[in-house]
Amino acid sequence: MAFLELRNVSKSYGEGAERTEVLKDVNMTICEGEFVAVIGFSGSGKTTLISLICGLIQPDEGEVLLRGKKITGPGPDRGIVFQNYSLLPWLTVEGNVAVAVNQVFKDWDPQRRHDQVRKYIEMVNLTPALHKRPSELSGGMRQRVSVARALAMNPEILLLDEPLSALDALTRGTLQYEIEKIWREDRKTAVMITNDVDEGIILADRIIPLKPGPRATLGPEFRVNLPRPRDKNELNDNDIYKHLRNDIVRYMLDIGKETGAGKSALELALPDLQPKDLRPSQREAVLSREVRAAIE
C-alpha cells in the first residue's frame, strides 16, 4: 500500500480573473522508507505542493492521503523543515527542539523528553551550541536545529522544503552529507523539494520533476540507482551518476524551453558557486550551469 498518496490534487489561488491555477491534477505515490526529491523551477508550485502534504493548505480538488487517511490539517506526524528555518528566535537551540518534543510527547516523563531533545541535538552535532539563540548561529547551524526539531517529533514522514537553498555552497555540501547520513540511520520516509539536481541525486531514491506552473503537473520520474552512502567526490566519476544527471538536466532544460519558464530566469544573475570538479566533461559543465540558472 502506498504510504503517501496524492490523488488528482489541484490547487489555485485567487478569485475570478485573478485566479491562478498553481497545481493541476498532481498524482504521486510514495512508499514507506523512500526518499523522494521533487525538483522544479521557482514559481512552479513546489512550496504549494509540500504545504499540501504538510496540511498547511487544503487542495481545491483531489486528496492527499497518508497511510490511506485523508490529511485535513498539519500535525506532528509530518515533520517539516522550512526553507527559512522558522526557528523561534527567543528560544535557545535546546528550547526550540524542546518546544516540539514537549508538545508531541506530552505524556512522557520530563527526563525522557529531555533525553529525546539532547539525542537529536547531538545527532546534528549541535551539542556545543545547546544554549545559543538562533541569532548567534550560522545559517547552516540554524538549518540543523530545524532538522533536529523535525526529527525529534519522531514523524512518520519528513518533509524538506528547499532546506538548503539559503545556504552557501560549501555548507550545503556538508549538510547534504549529514542529512543523508541521518536518513540512512532510520530510513524515514522523506519528501524533499529542491531546485538543485545534484542535491536530488545525492539524497533521493527517486527524483520527480515538477513541470513549471501555472497548472503544474509532475513529469516522468527518474530512479536513482546509486549505492549509499553516496560520496559527492566519488560520484563525480561515476557513469550512472553522470548519465542520470545529464538526463535530468536535459529534461529540465527541455520543459523549461517549452514553457518559457527558463528563459526569463536565465537573465537573472545568480551566485553560481558549486565547489565541484567538473573537468571530466566540459559539455556537461556548460549544461549544468545553464540548467541551474534556468531552475533557479
Partner 1 sequence: MATKVINFLSLCGLTWFVPFVKLASGECPKEQLREILSVIGIPVVSVLIFFAFWSFTAAQIKTSLGNLPGPVAVWEASKTLIAEHRDERAKEKAFYQRQEERNAKRLAKDPQAEVRIRKYTGKPTYFDQIGTSLITVFAGFLIATLLALPIGILCGLNKYVMTAFSPLIQIFKPVSPLAWLPIVTMVVSALYTTNDGLFEKSFINSAITVALCSLWATLINTALGVASIDKDYINVARVLRLGNIEKIVKVVIPASLPYIFAGLRISLGVGWMVLIAAEMLAQNPGLGKFVWDEFQNGSSHSLARILVAVFTIGIIGFMLDRIMVVFQKLVSFGQDVATA
Q: Interface residues with partner 1 (CB under 8 A)? A: 54, 56, 73-76, 78-80, 82, 84, 86, 88-91, 99-100, 103-104, 133-136, 153
Residue that the C-alpha cell 542535491 belongs to: 199
Q: Which residues pair with 63 in a beta bridge?
A: 7
State which residue, 152 or 294, has the beta carbon closest to partner 1: 152
Amino acid symbol at 126: L
Q: Looking at beta carbons only, is 87 or 202 nearer to partner 1?
A: 87
Query: What cell does 141 get?
Result: 547551524
Which CB, 124 or 265, lies closer to partner 1? Answer: 124
Asked whether the beta carbons of 290 and 266 are under 8 A apart, the reply is: yes
121 vs 137 by CB, closer to partner 1: 137
Cβ of residue 131: shortest distance to partner 1, in angstroms?
13
Upstream peptide bond of 59 is cis (omega within 30 degrees of 0) = no
Per DSSP bridges, beta strands 189-194 and 35-40 are parallel
| All three cell numbers of 163 | 532546506
**Residue 65 or 91 with smaller CB distance to partner 1:** 91
Contact 170/275 with Cβ under 8 angstroms? yes
CA atoms within 13 A on the CB side of 85: 19
